[in-house]
Structure 1
């Protein structure tokens, strides 16, 4: 559970670092300033991501493939909420269908290995 909670926190910072500047017009802002601002926020992402993968993920028995898959699902979930509530975007039917297919991929990722 610690892995999941750290990945959620990490993805909140990551999503804001990557997409938060889309809320306002930054066309007159120098690119370097945007990058430095995003890196400053992304620092906090790493404070959660590294322990989630390297410490908790190993202890909780996740494989690297499973960790990446969990991270992608969390990332898409956080982004959907962020896009709707922060950026004011709407969710279209095809986004939902694509998300369902990704959830199907998660199912297959966690099937027990057969030898």
Structure 2
């Protein structure tokens, strides 16, 4: 896979790791004050944007905006599945996987000519 096709995907993976921590990482720390959690999430999201914006900018030279969004959704699901199991200790059940699979199928349709 040429670098112009691979780099946006790699950047999307990195950005999703940051964003998943920003959105869900605080669930492990329910006793932390909400304002502190919000500020920490914003700080983490800053690093997500440092990867997300270049991913979309570079990716738009080889992918359409809908294709980038479809990739984003599939990557988000994969990152979240690992995060939920590894970090939160909440493995996905069959119905979660089935629902995610339907989203993956929908994202794949975006690449159909």
TM-score of the pair, normalised by structure 2: 0.90
Structure 1 segments, 4+ long, off by >3 Å, are: none
- Which residue number in structure 1 is paired with residue 40 of structure 2? 37
Paired residues in the alignment total 108
Q: 2:92 corresponds to which residue?
A: 91
User: Which of the numbers 7, 24, 27 marks the counterpart of 1:22?
Assistant: 27
| Higher radius of gyration, 1 or 2 | 1
RMSD: 1.1
**Alpha-carbon contact 2:70-2:110 (below 8 Å) kept:** yes
- Other-structure match for 1:57: 59
Cα deviation, 1:3-48, whole Å, max 9, x if unaligned, reads 000000000000001111111232x51x222111100111000000
Identify unmatched segments of 5+ residues in structure 2.
1-5
3-state SS of paired residue (1:80): helix
The residue that corresponds to 1:10 in the other structure is 15
